[in-house]
C-alpha cells in the first residue's frame, strides 16, 4: 500500500458536518438523476486536510457494497441532499470496493500538528 494510503482515514457520514447538517442522509445520484446509493462516509488525508474519496454504500438484493468514489468533479444539491457524480450504476460497480477496516477511523490524534 503506498505511503499516502497508509495515512488516509475514514470518517462516518454522520460525523461530517456541513452548512446544512451531516452527510448521513445524502443520496448519491447519476447525471441522469438515478439513485446509486448513499454517502456512508469519506476518506480523508488528515495531513493535507483534504477529502480523497466519498464512500458510497450501494445495496442489492443480498449484499451491501461500499465503493470508493474519487473526490472528482461532482455537484452537491443541498436542497435535495444529493451528491451527483459522473457515474452510472455500471460505472459505480467498476470502482474499487472498500475493504472492511481498510482505513482506520479519523481520530483527534490524526488532527494534531506534526
What per-residue confidence (pLDDT) applies to 17?
87
Rounded to whole angstroms, the Cα distance separating 93 from 36 reads 10
Rounded to whole angstroms, the Cα distance separating 46 from 81 reads 25
Whether 84 and 30 have beta carbons less than 8 Å apart is answered as yes
For residue 7, pLDDT beyond 60 = yes
Helix (H) or strand (E) holding 62: none
More confident residue, 91 or 18: 91
CATH of 3-92, one of 3.40.50.170, 2.30.30.240, 3.30.465.10, 3.40.50.1820: 2.30.30.240
For residue 23, pLDDT beyond 80 = yes
For residue 1, pLDDT beyond 70 = no
- Encode burial over 49-70: b for 16+ CB neighbours within 10 A, e otherwise: eeebbbbbbbeeeeeeebbbbe
Domain ranges of the chain: 3-92
Total-model pTM:
0.86
What per-residue confidence (pLDDT) applies to 65?
93
Of 9-13, 27-31, 60-64, minimum mean pLDDT range: 60-64
Rounded to whole angstroms, the Cα distance separating 16 from 64 reads 21
Question: Cell numbers at residue 60, please?
Answer: 442489492
Average pLDDT of the chain is 87
Amino acid at each position: 500500500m503506498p505511503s499516502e494510503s497508509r495515512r488516509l482515514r475514514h470518517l462516518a457520514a454522520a460525523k461530517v458536518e456541513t452548512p446544512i447538517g451531516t452527510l448521513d442522509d445524502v443520496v448519491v445520484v447519476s447525471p441522469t438523476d438515478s439513485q446509486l446509493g448513499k454517502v456512508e462516509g469519506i476518506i480523508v488525508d488528515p495531513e493535507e486536510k483534504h477529502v480523497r474519496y466519498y464512500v458510497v454504500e450501494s445495496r442489492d438484493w443480498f449484499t451491501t457494497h461500499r465503493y470508493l468514489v474519487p473526490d472528482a468533479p461532482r455537484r452537491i444539491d443541498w436542497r435535495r441532499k444529493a451528491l451527483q457524480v459522473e457515474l452510472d450504476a455500471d460505472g459505480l460497480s467498476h470502482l474499487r470496493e472498500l475493504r472492511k477496516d481498510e482505513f482506520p477511523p479519523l481520530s483527534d490524534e490524526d488532527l494534531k500538528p506534526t
